[in-house]
Structure 1
Amino acid sequence: MTTTVSRRAVAKGAVWGAPIVLASATIPAYAASQNKLGIQYGVYVSTQYNGGYVGYATSNNTGTINATSPDAYFASNPTPESDINWNDATSRPTNSTSFVNGEGSFTPVTNSQSGQNGAYASSSGFWWSVPTTDIASGSNYISRSTATLASGATFVTVVEYTVPAGAEWSVNNATINGQLWSPKNTKPLTGTTAEAISSATQSTYLSIAQTAGSWTADIPAVTKNADGSFTFRGTITYKTTKSYTLTQTGTKYYGQTNFMPAQLKFSDAYGWTSYSQTSYIQNATITYSGNGITDTLSLTGLSTTSTIRP
């Protein structure tokens, strides 16, 4: 996949724009202008095996096991993820009956509107911050500064599920929010998300918890492989339907959009080999202002993949 960004160039895990900080794989991708005012942002993806199905759902929560402040989050190595019963070093689960693999850059401190600091829900999405003069840390955010995610921000997720020979039923009978997602469909599936804004008493650092948007799941394809196994491949595209302005007030520094439907389920009853989600920014434009400076950042291509195996 080719990554192109107007105004600047970036690679996953790199820092935007000299002369702010050195690149580091332990911190998310950033945007920064030559005047040392910039924003932070990232893409995160979760996949899971839970309760007899393989796929995606946003119901799991890691519990309060991670950094509980922005400064601690950015100092963490590795940065917190939504992992549950999962070992990143081996890329294998530590519990065969229930696990989550989170990958990418998760919203600092928590990605849940009502969740505790240090806990992460097993969702997939994109987050951005208000402007700061120190993009390598969780401090120096500009008071009353703003960062606006323009309407029409678009995020794409490619889903692949492979099962052994004899398990073809599983790849032809996936469901999204209870609706059949299969080559049997005669038209794409569609759905919407309602916005959620965190109140002053919710989520200490997260302001915009969910953008209003719409998603479309194309008619997927199922391929028979040379060894007799079958692979499902489908694409879900999410687009925001209004602009969202993140304003620095109190400790509210971050906004996010979760870009998957609530549930995506494949049966594991006949066995499975692997499941993966690759999410990327198709296009997103953020205009940010602070300290009398205004700049615009256009993003495309930044991607994250999460893969699980039994």
Structure 2
Amino acid sequence: MRAMKLLRTLHNVSDIFDQHCIRFLAIKGPVLSQQIHGSSIYRRSLDLDFLISQEDVRKVDKILRTKGFIRLHPKADLSNLQQKIFMARDNVACYEFASTRIEIHWRLFENPNYLDIAFDELWHKRTVIALTGKVLPTLGHSDNLLYLLAHGAKHFWIYLKWMDDIVAFSKIIPSDDYNEAVRLARKYDLSDVMFSSLDFIRTFYGKELKISTPPSAPRSKRYRRLISAFRCSFCESSQLGKEVSPRWARTLIFLRQFHLKSTFSYRMRLTLRWLINFEDLSELQLPSALFPLYIFLRPVFWLKRFIKGKTDG
């Protein structure tokens, strides 16, 4: 029942985008499940994800709200300045329709210094998936593999289903596409992330991968540190509700994200992202000229969420 509702909403949103000539890529969720497992319901999904061009964000927001979609994040209406800051800080706006959550992304990750392949490039290399009578565009094989590995690494592989996705992907990806993913990983300084993830899945998950790590793959200090962090994070996540609190687990993962890349720009962007939480704006409406005052009020809002047990940022 849940899966059918997701598929109906997926088709509904894709039809809306097609009608308004909005380029989009359906990522993760039922489309990924169909692509790598051969069934849209093999992997359980709680929401739908779409990637669009940053130029279309305002247009899509207006269209979806006109069609009855409720915007969940950001809840408050933003000024032009706040909108620019929001889009620089985050990479997703969330909506709800018929009890289904829809996430609209304008780049792959909130931190553009992690992996930021231009939408036009992703669109050019897209592939299509036939899903219950409709053809949907999604990420090409090389982009998708690197994205899934970078996504799993960013969350330190706390879910087995993400590892299962990589195992399944390794069975269908052509060798040329895998080699292209390796090239992209080197281009974006993600070789350690890619190869440590593959080796961790191979040894920890215990399932055979149909792709092999190149003999020249790095075994750097960062590679070894990531392997250790993946192991620790997965073990900690399995203990949630026991010794480790969700709040502390999220904090540990955030701190470990500093190990993913060593560049100053990546680490600075990771730090700055936590200076603004747009949930605060639903309680505090500041004109653009006074918006910088929020930086000084931020600790007050953070303390309020900490007391309530909500410290995601």
Q: TM-score, normalised by structure 1?
A: 0.25
Q: Which has the larger share of strand?
A: 1
The TM-score with structure 2 as length reference comes to 0.24
Q: Which has the higher contact order (CA 8 A, sep 6+)?
A: 1
The structure with the greater share of residues assigned to helix is 2
